[in-house]
Amino acid sequence: MSTLILNKRDVQDLLRMPDVIRVVEDAFISLGQNKVSMPPKSYLVVEHGDFRAMPAAITGAAGIKWINVHPKNKAKDLPSIMAVLIYNDPETGYPLAIMDATQITAYRTAAASAIASKYLARKNSHSLGIIGAGHQAHTHIMAHLECFDFESIKIYDLSKTATGRLIDSFSDYPLTVCSLEEAVASDIVCTLTPSKSPILKHTWIKPGTHINAVGADAKGKEELEPSILDKAIVIVDDLGQASAAGEINVPLSNGIYKVDQIHATLSEIILGKKKGRTDDKTITIFDSTGIAIEDIATAKLVYEKASLEFADRYISVDLV
């Protein structure tokens, strides 16, 4: 028995967004049915960033992702987020693969947002607002285009280089660079920044808007004015993780928002255990922290494609 070694290019070649959306939604269903094992995400904070250990097991697969977030890496010509995933056979523990998980992270995060939008946004949503034009912006547009037919996609970022790169990536689709307030005035808004102070004002949010709050994924991060939460139905990916490190973490710690104000988890919405949007005026928020079952489900997809279809292309080693 051998272990597949899959680098970033290998993983990228094997990822297809429709497939990732499918397996991530299945993972949320399994989570809601108590068919997964997922300990809390563990943080290791260092001077210039942090590391996160994310273990999980789903049916037929287990593993752990080791991911870093170093916001100042761009100055060193390095990605601010990098990840490696060890993928194991849950029956024997054998390491079936060691794979780059940077792209897995980007794809599965965007897939979760698109799934949330599918269940929570208005059915007649025709505009997408992207706040932050980094790599997550690219995959979030990809994922949402699988689920919606947009008339406009508006993007905002402080960096002209970042917005230019994003526009070039979607040369066949008209992306518009605009002000922050204009981008927020969209049917679906994705916030993808590392901000530690609110950048979206409650007066900018139109009735009926759906927001995927993605950037706040560690203690102290916050992208939305807390008053937006009070006006909205808030859905989380994982209650414990969102409370400790999601968009709601700062308002909770400040005592201006309470856990019992959270409406549901995404799993409960997908399974129909709780209702999401009930009218076209409700503001809905998906507090996305990124959970480990998303990674393992996507890694399982990658491994099965690599081992069953293209095994001869990849490096394999005997680790045990």
- Distance, in Å, from the CA atom of 139 to the CA atom of 160, rounded to the nearest integer, reads 19
**Which residues, 6+ apart, have CB-to-CB distance to 171 below 8 Å?**
none
Type of residue numbered 155: I
User: What are the two backbone dihedrals, phi and then psi, of residue 237, each rounded to the nearest 5 degrees?
Assistant: -80, -40
β-strand pairing of 81-88 with 42-46: unpaired
Q: How far is 106 from 119, CA to CA, in rounded Å?
A: 21
Is position 65 annotated as part of the catalytic site? yes
Enter the tokens of residue 312.
């001869």
Which tokens in the block code for residue 294?
A: 């998303």
The secondary structure of 213-245, three-state, reads ECCCCCCCCCCECHHHHHHEEEEECCHHHHHHH
Strands 210-213 and 283-287: parallel
Neighbours of 105 (CB within 10 A): 24
Place of tokens 């991060």: 221
Comparing C-alpha atoms, which of 199, 257, 196 is closest to residue 224?
199
DSSP 77: T
The catalytic residue among 8, 35, 65, 76 is 65
Q: For residue 24, which of 188, 147, 167, 138 has the smallest C-alpha distance?
A: 147
- Which residues are bridge partners to 154 per DSSP? 129, 176
Using CA atoms, how far apart are residues 118 and 116, in angstroms rounded to an integer? 5
Residue ranges in 121-156 assigned as alpha helix (H): 135-145
Rounded distance, CA 145 to CA 128, Å? 10
Among all residues, which ones are annotated catalytic? Answer: 65
